[in-house]
Amino acid sequence: MNTIENHLQHATLSPSHLRCEYKENPIGIDVLKPRLSWQMTSPGRGAKQTAYQIVVAGSPAGLEAAGGHLWDSGKVSSGESIHRPYEGPPLASSQRYYWKVRVWDGDDQPSAWSEPAFWEMGLLSPADWQAAWIQPDLEEDTSVSPPCPMLRTTFAVDGGVKSARAYVTCLGLYELALNGQRVGDEVFTPGWTSYDTRLQYQTYDVTALLRRGENAIGVTLGDGWYRGYLGFSGQRNLYGEKLALLLQLQIVYEDGRRQVVGTDESWKAATGPILKSDIYNGEHYDARLEKSGWSQINYDDSDWSGVQVIDHRKDILVAPMGPPVRKIEEIRPLEIIHTPAGETVFDMGQNMVGWVRLKVQGEMGTVVTLRHAEVLDQQGNLYTANLRSAEQTVQYILKGGGEEVYEPHFTFQGFRYVAVEGYPGQPTLDSLTGVVIHSDTPPAGHFECSNPLLNQLQHNIVWGQKGNFLDVPTDCPQRDERLGWTGDAHVFIRTACFNMDVAAFFTKWLRDLAADQREDGSIPHVIPDVLGRSSGGATGSTAWADAGVICPWTIYLCYGDRRILEAQYESMTAWIGTMQAQSGENHLWQKGFHFGDWLSVGSSSPLFPAAVTDIDLIATAFFAYSTSIVQQTARILGKDDDAEKYGALLAKIKEAFRQEFVTENGRLASNTQTAYVLALMFDLLPEDQRPEAARRLAADVRKRGDHLSTGFVGASYLCPVLSRFGYLDVAYDLLNQDTYPSWLYPVKQGATTIWERWDGIKPDGEFQDEGMNSFNHYAYGAIGEWLYQVVAGLEVDPEAPGYKHSLIQPQPGGGLTSVRATLNSMYGQVVSAWELAEERFKLAVTVPANTRATVRLPAASLEQVTESGGALPNTAGIERAYQDGDDVVVEVGSGQFEFAYSSDRFKGLEKPRKLSIHTPLQTLLESEGAKAVLAKYLPDLSDSPMLSQAMGFSLVQISTFIPHLLTDEVLQALDKELAQL
Ligand code: BGC
């Protein structure tokens, strides 16, 4: 038996990591044919599943008993191990279903059965809700933030409880307690959806909290997104003026009896310590007004008000698809600063989102005020002007008599600094703790490399994601905005998929997108669409509305989720319909309102012109791109007529684009980076024009001294386009750039999150315009996908989505000596990690069981490459290896592989390149080495009367004045020598 067979023989599989609709043992779902996924491990290489069998039963015992199965898939010949739909008899409300799976390997050997897993259905029909909507009967002034209502009831349990579930939702936000104990660890429930048509309820297993005899339920309600301040025009009550609660407790006794306790007219209501709680403005809490024991029995509620039963829809109730928001981690402050203005300011060391837990001891009535800000100003004082109207202020009034620990309830802040006023005694680092909250999206990827600045950039991207994935993907977490801006989500989603598992998160948001989509197919700027409520028509901007097409497509690619395409297809095609209607016969989209290349770089210098890209060009480019995605979607869904229709439409848009925006030689009507990036990224140019367009793009970057000029729209595709079209070096120089505008400029300024603007803090220390200057805005963090896909080389094959087939194709450069990226895919962990030392390149790859990878080794020759120390073609688990131009391509099955080889093409790559013919002269002359090189080629340079004028120009720019001296050959020779410095 040779080594390959040896390996395969031992490739016994074992299925694990069972998931249902992306979740581990979810309770309270309402997907009628839930999809089941599993991973498998195998000690050997080349492990693959050839068949599977799923069984489902109503109890763990039923799973084991012959004939106890509700559904048995039988042995299904298939390599598919993700998203296998349940195909058994209809699922019933509140029922729990247990399942297990076994798989067959390449030798048709069955695995052992997996450990059992389960899912549980929620309330599937409006008729399942016996409880009534209730509203506290309280006098309220809802023109401002009123005190938070509390609601309570008691009930009797008269036997041993087998299981109990609470199904809860509200208009507003709620916190549920049973017998004095907080139920669940979720915050900001029931979440933010398009409330008129989709309102989520949560399901809690409360079996352990009930006791025989009397029990009590207490619920606190908050304004939240429902009726708090929302949007930038100071409006509130956007969804309604009155809070309401719907709660249904279902008890199953051991003897089989059932009992339902629901919200009804017997509940009581009052207000208590939360004087106001608002997402933007913060919370005021008076601990003296606490009602001790109010969510327990034996509390005297005789002075409480009643409630009113109201008529509110139940047919809009849906189970959550996305993950809940939770308290995810805690941060201890770094130091306490005493500012020139006399403030006592805690520095959390990280721009974070959530709140602080306050620990305090003092006299009753003492008022402690916490003001939150992202940055300190030039003088070192707390800077809050960029928060606009959002107060972000928490006030706590002590009840006195011992240590008090307090956390706010229905508000969150975006901040690094907290100014504390009124603290009794000396606050210490122990007085405040940062509580970080976000949607509990499972961590998925990790990127790390030899350059600490890039690691900080990655850190900032991840923190931008944490802070802005708070039930919906938001633009920012601090000012009076925090909205589900579609454009921001579209540019960042691919990066987001690398950092965390965001499939379920986007599944939910896209449902709201479709729900809020207009009759004519137009998609609002923000989802849920609150701007439509506050200021009428706010829909249909190019590159923003395209989120409706690009986001489902990205989730399909990254998670192999075909159902999201099915679910969103109507929404996707409706959006194409809008663009088609607006562009009319000539297929140029020239109507409507568009944000354009939002926040692109502006300048009045003719050498660095403001990078304004024609809006019609952007709109027509995205019209084409979205159409191409919908064409592919139609093909995948087997809608061949549609695929053909959209293919024909795409051809017409491309033709129109070329006619209108491209000259014969491949110059674009807007000579900006973003214009070239879009035309190249979206394949809008004929093959023969692409090299020239790419050259122009690269030249523009060089002309700007290796700087970008793009805004939100161009930035995310800039490096991907440069590397794809042969300008990897230019892309790396952009990545390593640390002067404005660049990704590393904020890093150098001490940023711990991604900024909204390239110059949120300008080089002279001044702030950008306070009206639009968030320090936690993930859009420019979209460079993250390039770090994973190109620097580390971790990419998915669109023909085998979900990393069923990975493309591992690292492209070393940028002075990096090591890079490591990992990604927990649906199938398990994919790894690409490389090292470069003395021209020797090593690449370690992990390919999860039941998947394959194509590994592309750059600048390699087949004879030289070793794998785990052996000559390449002979090692186990390698399906095929061949030379492809300068690269070696290796097809592998699952397992861990280590490739190594040397190439003189890697010479000098390990050193970050500092100087080049694109460096400003001034910088060159500061280097003794560069001075010597210059003296060699331009001996008269130092005597030139023009020298002082030329200091800001690069040699390439100067060559236009002295082409006879700085010929192309001389420039090339200069560049080579400068590279060695
Ligand atoms: C938001 C953005 C958004 C933009 C629309 C801003 O106020 O913060 O990130 O995309 O408006 O151009």
Tell me the best of 488, 493, 541, 757 to mutate to test the pocket of ligand 1, counting ligand atoms within 8 Å of each CB and taking the most. Answer: 488
User: Encoding tokens for residue 765?
Assistant: 């220390």
755 Cβ below 6 A of ligand 1? no
pLDDT of residue 530: 93
C-alpha angle 349-351-353 in degrees, rounded to nearest 5: 125
Is the shortest distance between the CB of 897 and ligand 1 below 6 Å? Answer: no
Tell me how long the chain is.
981
Q: Is 25 a residue whose pLDDT tops 50?
A: yes
Of 21, 283, 343, 756, catalytic: 756
Cβ pair 106, 11 in contact under 8 A: yes
d(CA 896, CA 877): 9
Pairing of strands 268-271, 794-796: unpaired
The span from the CA of 185 to the CA of 173, in Å, is 14
Amino acid identity at 516: D
CA 524–ligand 1 middle distance (angstroms): 13
Q: How far is CA 658 from the centre of its chain?
A: 34
Q: Which atom of ligand 1 is nearest to the CA of 487?
A: 10
Active site residue 363: no
Question: Is residue 429 a contact partner of residue 332, using CB atoms and an 8 Å limit?
Answer: yes
Q: Which of 888, 129, 780 is nearest to 475 (CA)?
A: 780
CA distances 977 to 253, 914, 936, Å, are: 83, 12, 11
Kindly give the distance from the C-alpha atom of residue 485 to the centroid of ligand 1, in angstroms, as a whole number. Answer: 7
- Find where tokens 């962990």 sit: 829
Annotation says 910 is catalytic:
no
Among candidates 753, 734, 737, 754, which has minimal Cα distance to 745?
Answer: 737
pLDDT at 114: 97
Residue 424 CB coordination number (10 Å): 14
CB 560 within 8 A of CB 83: yes
pLDDT, tens digit, for every residue of 387-428? 999 999 999 999 999 999 999 999 999 999 999 999 999 999
CA pair distance 543, 580, nearest whole angstrom? 15
Among 509-513, 667-671, 719-723, whose mean pLDDT is lowest?
A: 667-671
Please tell me the residue having the least CA distance from ligand 1 atom 1. Answer: 475
* 398, 424 contact by CB (below 8 A): yes
Answer yes or no: is the C-beta of 835 below 6 A from any ligand 1 atom: no
Q: 11 falls in which pLDDT band (50, 70, 90)? A: very low
Ligand 1 mean position, distance from CA 516 (Å): 18
pLDDT at 542 exceeding the cut of 70: yes
User: CA–CA distance from 525 to each of 364, 376, 538 (Å)?
Assistant: 47, 31, 6
Task: Read off the tokens for 304.
Answer: 């409480």
Out of 598, 772, 780, give the residue to mutate to test ligand 1, the one with the largest number of ligand atoms within 8 Å of its CB. Answer: 598
Residue 598 in contact with ligand 1 by CB distance below 6 A = yes
Is 785 close to ligand 1, i.e. is its CB under 6 Å away? no
Residue 8 has what pLDDT?
A: 43
Give me the residue label for tokens 């609660």.
245
Q: Is the CB of 476 under 6 A from ligand 1?
A: yes
At a CB cut-off of 8 Å and minimum separation 6, what does 922 contact?
Answer: 951, 952
Long-range contacts, 2-5 (Cβ 8 Å, 24+):
3/874, 3/875, 3/876, 4/46, 4/876, 4/877
Integer Cα distance of 927 and 947 in angstroms: 16
Report whether residue 487 contacts ligand 1, using a CB cutoff of 6 Å: yes
| Residue 599 CB less than 6 A away from ligand 1 | no
C-beta of residue 974 within 8 angstroms of C-beta of residue 965 = no
Q: Whose CA is nearest to atom 9 of ligand 1?
A: 475
Neighbours of 665 (CB within 10 A): 9
Ligand 1 pocket residue status of 862, Cβ below 6 Å: no
Of 343, 374, 481, 785, the catalytic one is: 481
Nearest atom within ligand 1 for CA of residue 476? 8
| Residue of 389, 472, 474, 485 with the most ligand 1 atoms within 8 Å of its CB, for mutation | 485
Assess whether the C-beta atom of 204 lies below 6 angstroms from ligand 1: no
What is the DSSP secondary-structure string of 203-244? EEE-GGG--SEEEEEEEEEE-HHHHS--STT----SS-S--E
pLDDT band, residue 534 (cuts 50/70/90) = low
**In the structure encoding, which two tokens stand for residue 576, read together?**
């194409």
Q: Is the minimum distance from the CB of 98 to ligand 1 under 6 angstroms?
A: no
For residue range 42-95, what is the model confidence (pLDDT) as tens digits? Answer: 988 999 999 999 999 999 999 998 888 999 999 999 999 999 999 999 999 999
Please say whether the dihedral angle defined by the alpha carbons of residues 927, 933, 939 and 945, taken in this order, is positive or negative. negative
Phi, psi of 415 (to 5 degrees): -165, 155
CA distances, 543 to each of 548, 586, 592, 730 (Å): 10, 20, 13, 25
Model confidence at 141: pLDDT above 60: yes
Of 145, 94, 140, the closest CA to residue 120 belongs to: 94
Indicate which residue's Cα is closest to atom 3 of ligand 1: 485
- 315-319, 494-498, 896-900, 961-965: which has the minimum mean pLDDT? 961-965
Work out which ligand 1 atom sits closest to the CA atom of 774. Answer: 8
Token digits for 817? 């000596």
Q: Distance from the CA of 386 to the center of ligand 1, in angstroms?
A: 14
- pLDDT for 4 equals 42
Q: How many CB atoms lie within 10 A of CB 191?
A: 27
Classified as helix, coil or strand, 5 is: helix
- Residue 232 alpha carbon, nearest atom of ligand 1: 7
The C-alpha atoms of residue 683 and residue 721 are separated, in whole angstroms, by 10
Angle at 355 between CA 349 and CA 360, to 5 degrees: 95
**In ligand 1, which atom is closest to the CA atom of 598?**
12
User: Which percentage of the chain shows pLDDT scores above 70?
Assistant: 98
Q: Among 147, 399, 136, 415, which residue's Cα sits nearest to residue 278?
A: 147
Check residue 265 and give its pLDDT: 98
Average pLDDT for residues 209-221, to the nearest whole number? 98
Burial (CB count within 10 angstroms: exposed 0-12, middle 13-18, buried 19+), residue 450: middle
Cα distance between residue 494 and residue 798, in whole Å: 13
As to burial, measured by CB atoms within 10 angstroms (0-12 exposed, 13-18 middle, 19+ buried), residue 386 is: buried
| Encoded tokens for 565 | 């395409």
Report how far ligand 1's centroid is from the alpha carbon of 239 (Å).
22
What's the mean per-residue pLDDT of the chain? 95
Find out whether the peptide bond into 116 is cis, omega within 30 degrees of 0: no
Both ends of the chain: CA-CA distance in Å? 54
Quick check: 680 and 611 in contact, CB under 8 A?
no
pLDDT at 180: 98
Task: Give residues with Cβ within 8 angstroms of 695, minimum separation 6.
Answer: none
User: Looking at ligand 1, which residue's alpha carbon is closest to its atom 11?
Assistant: 485
